[in-house]
Structure 1
Amino acid sequence: MDENAPSLQEYMEVLPQHMDQWKHEQRFVSMHVEKVIACNWKVAYEAFIESYHAIATHPQLMPFQAIDNSQYDVWGDHVSRTITAYGVANPTHADLYTEQQSLDAMMALIDLEDRPQVPPGMTAREVYAQLNLPVANEQAGEDFSERTTMSELMDSTLYSLFPNFAPWAGHGTVITYRHRPNGDDVESCIMEIFLLTRYPEGTESPADAPTYRLNIDQPFSEGAEVMGAGFSNVFNQDGANLPQVQKGLKASKKGTVSLSNYQEVRIRHFHQTLDKYINAK
């Protein structure tokens, strides 16, 4: 152990300052799924710190996620972030969907049977934010209507803290990922998915949900009763893709991975930090 290691507060750099407004201390685990995946933990971690893969891996998201326009940020060695707008069709698909079709696609993903209509003069993004506001207000016991933005209510804002922790941010229920080694097996890893739900200040925290475990041969769809059909299908697509990436790494003639200049900047940042720690030893 390093007796001169920095404090956790120092190690987390800008993350506590950014996360303070989301009141993560007033949240409980409303869902916890743990699954063994047939790839190294770093491969799985990389897959969830960029949005670029969704264009090919998650085509059902194209009506309402502006993947191509995702914003990527890095700070120091340990923190990075992606922001992807919801309620907006991907630019390559913008002419294919009406505002109503974009909203319907969002409702299908979260397994809502009701299909609200997009009124004339409004966008799917505006309607979806209106739907999220009362839910966030009820969970938090606060009224966010005068002090929040549509982005804070609905967009995918995903941070990462080196080496393996990836919390989402927002007023409503947020996802958090953790990827860790599966013992000494470098060909597999354990992926954990948490849903963190806010509860009102001054009230007792609800009990955390039990852990739902899936082995390496079980698809995420077997956890649909816990995760919801739309949610589990998205992770099914990632789960099918990741073992192929693991195999592909070993088939590379040049022995390195080519990363896009911007869309995969967080992966580059992750490996630059990893190299610093390895070379320091």
Structure 2
Amino acid sequence: MPIKNVVVNCTDVERSVAFYTEFLELTPLGEPTSARAVLDAVTATVELRAVGNGRERSTWSPDDLQKGFRHLGFKVDRIDTRAAVLKAAGVEFKLDPLDAEGNVRICFFYDPDGTLLELIQGDLEYAEVLDADGVARERALGVPSRPRFDHVAVTIADRDATAAHYRDHHGFSFIGTIEQPHDHRGFHIGYLKGGDTVIEVFTYDVDTTGRAPQLDVAGFAYAELTGDVPALPAVESPDGTKVYVDPDGFTYAVGSGA
């Protein structure tokens, strides 16, 4: 069962719609308003919601040693061309395009309110394949004609516990791993696949920090999954949605659908 939707809070919906439609070619579903817009990202939707609080109030840090949400990833073609367009428009980058572990090319940049986004070109070559059928389904998606939502990345403390939770409650399969041998922190990545989407999980050999959920500030708010209602703490979003908080502080709601 896939990630169905990701909710991103923003201080100016019109500005964010322009950003995501121009640079990521997401398509509005219905008519955007000043309060909300839903954009088609091929394998999921990205929902932009207006909040009155500015970026300065968020406790999210770009340091991946902070547990919980890290970034949203989109599969693309022509990554260098796309990055050049972003740079020409003055978009802030965290990481310029480079060849990464797993034989893919990646880059990282920020949306207008500081949500970290990744572009990925190519199919991952896993250090260890744990679900060959899942990897085959991933590769069968092919090269996207326009950017498609691929994953949400999360820093976690316990890979086995996280994999078991999202398998048992939401149908995600642990398909493979990538190692980062040059990272002095001991950086390991696992991939939990649900439908055509992925939860990318980061673990480290050094200490990580926690963060309390914030659903009323600019930036990533929560993902929407299908599956069972989990036995997790819950908080209420500004629109009344019940949002669950997993042990690493990652926030998600549970909806219906396959």
What TM-score does the superposition give when structure 1 sets the normalisation length?
Answer: 0.25
Higher strand share: 2
Higher helix share: 1
What TM-score does the superposition give when structure 2 sets the normalisation length?
Answer: 0.26
Q: Which has the higher contact order (CA 8 A, sep 6+)?
A: 1
* Structure ID, larger Rg: 1
